[in-house]
Amino acid sequence: MTITLKFGDKVTVADVRKLHDMEDVVFDREWFERVDERNGDMYYMFRDLAKSEADLEIIKSHHLRYDITRIPPGMLGLEFIKTVGHYHPQVPGTDVFYPEIYQVLEGSATYLLQKVEHGEEDIVLDVAVIKAEKGDLVLVPPGYGHVTINASEKTLEMANWVCRDFSSVYEPVKRYSGAAYFLLKDGFGKNPLYRDIPPIRYSKPLSFDKLGLVSGGNMYDLVHKAEKLRFLTAPQDFMGFLAGVL
Ligand SMILES: O=P(O)(O)OC[C@H]1O[C@](O)(CO)[C@@H](O)[C@@H]1O
């Protein structure tokens, strides 16, 4: 069945993550091995949305992308349903990684953000978890890998603004079979493949009033003030601000 989203006057067909796409990052391997049908839908990604052609032109000219992701409730065996998880690359010519901003549109989300020093053996420097409800904003600072978990009984729908000029980096998450923690029925459990994982730092969603990113507002409306989102495409010019968001 094709899953669609009507946004503005345009209908967009979802890119679908299937269970087999989760193979490398699932905690409950025994459960995964027992599932016969691995073609089942996990979550739906509606990418590069705009309410009109004029909006799309603005979005593209600012090198931005607006996506909506829909994650139904569910379990991957013992673990709550989640995204595969990824990092972003560096802005060319700088040592700064691209950030991203999310807003919860429906339901509730648990964002797991992790900063890792990559090497022969990765060292986890920081793990932050932010629980976000409808309207809340979560900014993923440069250098943080991120996984979104739906640990609720309702469908989670979230939006993101992100720079459109790069592809996400999946290998470092898959190499360790997931992020540093898995969210299981009885709470967060450490991923034994990482060494010396720090305790989780619980953080809260924020509002970034000066940028027009206000909790409870509609983040899409920034399409009309797209210059406010320049911290996503040129984060190297906003390091002071980005250092304090988590
Ligand atoms: O790429 P993953 O880890 O499956 O996460 C999915 C979500 O991340 C985004 O790429 C934004 O970072 C969304 O477009 C997408 O819905």
* Span 83-110, pLDDT tens digits: 999 999 999 999 999 999 999 999 999 9
Residues with CB under 6 A from ligand 1: 17, 45, 47, 67, 69, 83-86, 100, 160, 162, 168
Residue 55 near residue 8 (C-beta atoms within 8 A): yes
pLDDT tens for each residue of 163-196: 999 999 999 999 999 999 999 999 999 999 999 9
210 pLDDT band (50/70/90 cuts)?
confident
d(CA 179, CA 182): 7
Q: 168 CA to middle of ligand 1, Å?
A: 8
Model pLDDT, residue 90? 98
Q: Please state the atom number of ligand 1 nearest to the C-alpha of residue 85.
A: 3
pLDDT at residue 231 greater than cutoff 90: yes
Q: Please state the atom number of ligand 1 nearest to the C-alpha of residue 100.
A: 12
Q: What angle do CA 14, 219, 160 make, to 5 degrees?
A: 40
Pocket test for ligand 1, best of 26, 83, 102, 110 (most atoms within 8 A of CB): 83
Classified by CATH at the fold level, domain 4-243 comes out as: Jelly Rolls (2.60.120)
Pocket test for ligand 1, best of 25, 42, 86 (most atoms within 8 A of CB): 86
Q: 241 CA to middle of ligand 1, Å?
A: 24
Q: Please state the atom number of ligand 1 nearest to the C-alpha of residue 148.
A: 5
Phi, psi torsion values for 148, nearest 5 degrees: -110, 130
Nearest alpha carbon, ligand 1 atom 10: 168
Note the ipTM here. 0.96
d(CA 93, CA 182): 34
Q: 159 CA to middle of ligand 1, Å?
A: 10
pLDDT tens for each residue of 2-60: 999 999 999 999 999 999 999 999 999 999 999 999 999 999 999 999 999 999 999 99
Residue 102 near residue 132 (C-beta atoms within 8 A): yes
Tell me what the mean pLDDT of segment 148-167 comes to. 98
Of 7, 74, 89, the closest CA to residue 46 belongs to 7
Bridge partners of 11?
6
More confident residue, 211 or 49: 49
Half-sphere exposure of 180 (CA within 13 A, CB side): 26
Pocket test for ligand 1, best of 160, 167, 169, 171 (most atoms within 8 A of CB): 160
Of 69, 7, 79, 9, the closest CA to residue 41 belongs to 69
